[in-house]
Every structure is written in structure tokens, then in C-alpha cells.
């Protein structure tokens, strides 16, 4: 019985951790969309005003790059926690029993 409770607790903790990881990934993806928007706006401003200094744009690009790497690491971690596969086409996470991506329909 104690063993059963321990296993249930482990399972609940695992589910909680993966839910937290999912939430973190979504937060990073939201942040990246904001950064892309900002990047586009700043690029537009620079072009309209003949600004040659693109260091501001490079900082945004670097931020996006680091967040993408962070997401990739978190997705790998999720895959090992759950039985999951990441779609090579769109990056959506799918159960590893799926043969096709639930988001884009691509082969997994
Ligand atoms: Zn897909």
C-alpha cells in the first residue's frame, strides 16, 4: 500500500513537473512572438530613418536565439519525462504512439 502511495505521488509530481515545463515553454514562445514583433518594428524604424547602427536588432536576435535554445532543451526534457515526440516540421509535441503530428499532420 505504501508502495502504491509512493508511486502515485511520483506520478503526480511527474505530471506537475511536466505541466510546469509546458507552461514555461508556452511563456517562452509568447516572449519570442513579442520579440519578433519588436524586431520588426525596430527594423522598420531603422529603415525609415536611415539608421545604420543595427546593434539594437542584434541584441533582439541574440535574445530570440537564446530563448529558442532554452525551448529546445525544455522540449527534450519533456520528451524524456513523458513518452513524447517532437514534430520535425512544426515543433509540436506529440505522444510517441502517434505516427502523425496532431498539429500539422506531418509524419513523426
Ligand atoms: Zn507538426
Q: What is the pLDDT of residues 74-102, one digit of tens each?
A: 988 887 777 878 899 998 888 888 999 99
pLDDT of residue 8: 63
CA of 100 to the centre of ligand 1 (A): 8
C-alpha cell at 30: 509568447
Inside any domain, residue 7: yes
Inside any domain, residue 103: no
Q: Mean pLDDT across the stretch 11-23?
A: 77
pTM value is: 0.65
Closest C-alpha among 63, 31, 62, 56 to residue 41: 56
- Residue 94: its H or E element: strand 93-95
Closest C-alpha among 81, 75, 66 to residue 93: 75
Neighbours of ion ligand 1 (CB under 5 A): 87, 89-90, 92, 101, 103-104, 106
CA of 41 to the centre of ligand 1 (A): 29
pLDDT of residue 5: 62
User: Which structural domain range is residue 35 located in?
Assistant: 2-81
C-alpha cell at 3: 508502495
Q: How many domains does the chain have?
A: 1
Inside any domain, residue 11: yes
Dihedral sign (CA 4, 95, 67, 33):
negative
**Which band of pLDDT confidence, cut at 50, 70 and 90, is reported for residue 11?**
low
Inside any domain, residue 40: yes
Amino acid at each position: 500500500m505504501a508502495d502504491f502511495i509512493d508511486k502515485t505521488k511520483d506520478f503526480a509530481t511527474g505530471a506537475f513537473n511536466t505541466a510546469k515545463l509546458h507552461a514555461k515553454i508556452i511563456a517562452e514562445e509568447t516572449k519570442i512572438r513579442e520579440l519578433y514583433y519588436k524586431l520588426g518594428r525596430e527594423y522598420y524604424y531603422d529603415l525609415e530613418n536611415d539608421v545604420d547602427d543595427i546593434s539594437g536588432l542584434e541584441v533582439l536576435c541574440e535574445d530570440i536565439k537564446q530563448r529558442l535554445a532554452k525551448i529546445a532543451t525544455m522540449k527534450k526534457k519533456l520528451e524524456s519525462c513523458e513518452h513524447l515526440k517532437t514534430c520535425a516540421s512544426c515543433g509540436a509535441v506529440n505522444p510517441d504512439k502517434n505516427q502523425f503530428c496532431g498539429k500539422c499532420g506531418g509524419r513523426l
